[in-house]
Structure 1
Amino acid sequence: MTALPAGFLLTPPSHKLVGRVAPPGSKSITNRALLLAALANGTSHLSGALKSKDTVLMAAALRQMGVTVDEPDATSFVVTSTGTLLSPDAPLFLGNAGTATRFLTAAVATVNGTVIVDGDEEMRVRPIGPLVTALQSLGIDATSPTGCPPVTIVGTGSFGQGRVEIDGGLSSQYVSALLMAAPLGEGPIEIALTGRDIGARGYVDLTLSAMRSFGAVVEQVDAGTWLVQPTGYQAADLLIEPDASAATYLWGAQALTGGRIDLGVDADAFTQPDAAAQALIAQFPDMPAVIDGSQMQDAVPTLAVLAAFNNHPVRFVGIANLRVKETDRIRAVANELNRILPGLGTEEGDDLLVASDPALAEKLAGRNSRVKIETYHDHRIAMSFALAGLRLENIVILDPACTGKTYPGYWDMLAGLGVELTAVD
């Protein structure tokens, strides 16, 4: 589906969803690999990659800085670089791609010249201050008047050396950004967390694994400190695993319909932290009464929609960081659950309480008015609430095109499993 309508009305399927679906490649790994390949000397082949709005924006920014990024097929990038990023002739526009924005803000400090890292209106209210402060402590000329993009970096061709401290409480992406740029330092760089909290530590592990694939030497000094050697990077070939966040929608669809969807990969084969959601989804409709979403943040909207049909209420804790994603996801999920049925979702501080009702579908059966789900330009709200339409009548997902950020084929996937989608203008 190339041109998508203003909304999709979902008809709950009368059959179990059964079939085989290959999730797209991991966005998190693809954007890490693209950047590392651009910082490496030589030609790297990235296969199994995700082609979506976020990764397309990353590739375009790298091309602006003199990197050759070819796309021989729908799931591959071939990246050729000297290992040095050149000063672009215009600001880097990264839409609302958090990974690309945070990662490049650090990496472009290695450019010999001025670089402006910018995004759309949503990105311009997403905090980046802790990363800018950390860069400044390394002697890098980085400024962000609002604490959000745009960020202006005046690079000198190196990433400095010494010790840098970072508050990773808002986002692990700040930590990953520093780690990936550190091998381009003048000497060893020690990166230390200023507190115990970090957005999602599993994503830092993804970063370290990707860095080592391209030749980086990183030592974990303790639970919150890493020592990175100034090795630079060398080109590598990398097979990118499927996206675990995308897999949560398939696991959720399977659970809600009693079906069986073969992803072609076992849940325990994923290295991405969101794969931990599968063990919780497998317990549906008896998911735990309390779910700590701190280490699987992108899976929380999926789990919250399933929780609406659980046998007992579910409280989501450890999810404060969801307030600074593409939208305030705690508020968005609560709002849209309440659009389905008032009182279904409640914000309690930074917790989300879902007042589960296993008979929800029966109680709402025969309701003639359509429930138009506002998606806030957020792909995860659109994809997770589409799962509600597998059980409930008259669910309309507005702005379905926003799923192109990470899963361009999402609606084709549902249609391929036999879900009826009706265009709504």
Structure 2
Amino acid sequence: MGRMIVSVQKSILVGEVSAPASKSYTHRAVFAAALGDGKCCLSNCLISEDTRSTMKACRLFGGSFEEISDKIYVSGFGKRLKVPDEIVDVGNSGTTLRFMTALSALCGSEITLLGDASLQKRPNTPLLETLQKMGARAYSKNNNGCAPLVVEGKIKPGIYSIDGSVSSQFISALLLVCPLLDGPTELSIHGELKSKPYVDITMDVAKAAGIEILEQIEQTDPTDPTDPTDQNKNSVSAKTGGKISYKIKGNQAYHLENYTVPGDFSSVSYVLAAAAMISGSDVDVKNLFPSAQGDLAIIHILKEMGADISWDKKEGTVHVSNSGKTLTGICVDAGEIPDLVPTLAVLGTFSEGRMEIKNAGHVRFKETDRLHAMATELSKMGAEIIETADGLIISGKGGAGLFGANLCGWDDHRIVMALFVAGLMTGGTTIDTAESVRISYPRFFEDMKKIGANAIEK
């Protein structure tokens, strides 16, 4: 893959785009369809490098996939898992790595899983430790919790616990494979369950495939804030008021026949944020219907910051415009919405007043350390930004004193797209490693130019 640099100038955004399909839902739908023993048609899929990594890995276990436009036709392997005859290389996809690690623990043979250089820095210890408790031998070859990973032996049903503070993908992986065990499993979560909406997405897809998983919350605190900007909401534990556990029946079978993937709020957060900040902009984003995605909070956050934004849930259209106002900084708890942190950092930089992003320590373990990356790059544009242990504090001046710069995209799709929005505000900006948008939003630059972005890729 060649290196790409994108050059961005000041722009006004006007027009209409359709949200790309959700990457999170596509991963899970592909996996659930592969876990079935029949045929399935998945519609409105995100065909990207990450989701292709899941398809490629599932092929090694016996699945069959055919891509036609935005549809994926799947023939699943069900419980007739084939043992891969080669290393399972998942590329840059953390979701694929975690799902396939759990799946490998159903096979009973030694399986090695590998990822690219970035993925080999991302931790997996809670998942490996839990698989060990469940009866498999699961370990990191380099003894650092990171890929390459090796899984031997089979997991067994029972009562187990797992740390939820590092990544919700560990919990999702176990929730998807445990229904295939020959008895019931109970999985309790200790520590703060970060990014719980992604577990909710997993539950949503599993339910569509006919899988029964019971979520139980032990109520210990009546507090139940629902606004992502609520400063009293410190964690999922605070929101739910208790400990979370999942009860999973054994000997279940996946039956996902036809499934339509919803639009992706994470990916369109950049479009919505740009249109909300840039004076003169007027944009409609289609294909945004209600779903379990936590990142739909971007609509409520923008509204809280003073943006002119509305959501027609029946039509699936979000309308956002700016007639000359400057947004106001707020405090946002990012515990459930880690993928919005780069977008929020840019919003704070070009807003008026203090913007605080907190409870975001887990964002340091994504494709890159996104807190450090955003603080570093926005500082190059003149932003007053302080990096804390678990967040960012930004002193916004409504864009005053900010300027274009040559920025690094950190080989991270979300960093590149967020900095692109910043470049639309200042002009005179270049961002390297821009090809990384192919991970989650392959047509990002095309869509942005469609509604008026002045940008050149080279």
TM range (shorter): over 0.9
Aligned to 1:279: 300
Counterpart of 1:307, as a letter, is: G
Residue 66 of structure 1 pairs with residue 62 of structure 2:
yes
Residue 404 of structure 1 pairs with residue 421 of structure 2:
no
Aligned to 1:11: 9
Cα offset, 1:289, TM superposition: 2.9
Aligned to 1:227: 247
Aligned residues: 408
Pair 1:239–1:266, CA change in 2 (3 A): closer
Aligned to 2:225: none
Cα offset, 1:288, TM superposition: 4.5
Which deviates the most, 199-208 or 377-386?
A: 199-208
CA deviation map 1:202-255 (0-9, x unaligned): 111111111111111111232411110111312321110011101201111211
Residue 261 of structure 1 pairs with residue 283 of structure 2:
yes
Structure 2: gaps spanning 5 or more residues: 218-242, 307-325
Residue 24 of structure 1 pairs with residue 24 of structure 2:
no
CA RMSD of aligned residues (A): 1.7
CA distance in 2: counterparts of 1:324 and 1:416, whole angstroms: 33
Residues 92-171 of structure 1 correspond to what in structure 2 (within 5 A)? Answer: 92-144=88-140, 145-156=143-154, 159-171=155-167
Pick from 370, 386, 391: which aligns with 1:329?
A: 370
Residue 381 of structure 1 pairs with residue 381 of structure 2:
no
Aligned to 2:213: 218
Aligned to 1:346: 386
Assess if the C-alpha contact under 8 Å between 1:106 and 1:181 holds in 2. Answer: yes
Assess if the C-alpha contact under 8 Å between 1:244 and 1:270 holds in 2. Answer: no
CA deviation map 1:142-170 (0-9, x unaligned): 121221111111244xx411111100101
Counterpart of 1:257, as a letter, is: I
Cα offset, 1:265, TM superposition: 3.9
Aligned to 2:334: 293
Counterpart of 2:406, as a letter, is: K
Structure 1: gaps spanning 5 or more residues: none
CA distance in 2: counterparts of 1:186 and 1:129, whole angstroms: 25
Assess if the C-alpha contact under 8 Å between 2:187 and 2:247 holds in 1. Answer: yes
Counterpart of 1:21, as a letter, is: V
Assess if the C-alpha contact under 8 Å between 2:265 and 2:288 holds in 1. Answer: no
Pick from 178, 189, 203: which aligns with 1:182?
A: 178
SS in 2 for 1:312: strand
Counterpart of 2:358, as a letter, is: V
Aligned to 2:447: 413
CA distance in 2: counterparts of 1:251 and 1:295, whole angstroms: 19
Pick from 18, 28, 35: which aligns with 2:31?
A: 35
CA distance in 2: counterparts of 1:224 and 1:279, whole angstroms: 26
Assess if the C-alpha contact under 8 Å between 1:94 and 1:101 holds in 2. Answer: yes
CA distance in 1: counterparts of 2:392 and 2:357, whole angstroms: 5
Cα offset, 1:124, TM superposition: 0.8
Cα offset, 1:36, TM superposition: 1.0
Pair 1:5–1:415, CA change in 2 (3 A): farther
CA distance in 2: counterparts of 1:65 and 1:398, whole angstroms: 36
Percent of aligned pairs sharing the same letter: 30
CA distance in 1: counterparts of 2:14 and 2:149, whole angstroms: 47
Counterpart of 2:247, as a letter, is: L
SS in 2 for 1:313: strand
Pick from 313, 329, 336: which aligns with 2:354?
A: 313
CA distance in 2: counterparts of 1:9 and 1:18, whole angstroms: 20
Cα offset, 1:357, TM superposition: 1.3
CA deviation map 1:332-384 (0-9, x unaligned): 0000011111x522112222111211142xx346xxxx611111110000001
SS in 2 for 1:186: coil
CA distance in 1: counterparts of 2:457 and 2:71, whole angstroms: 32
SS in 1 for 2:92: coil
CA distance in 2: counterparts of 1:266 and 1:127, whole angstroms: 32
TM-score, structure 2 length as denominator? Answer: 0.86
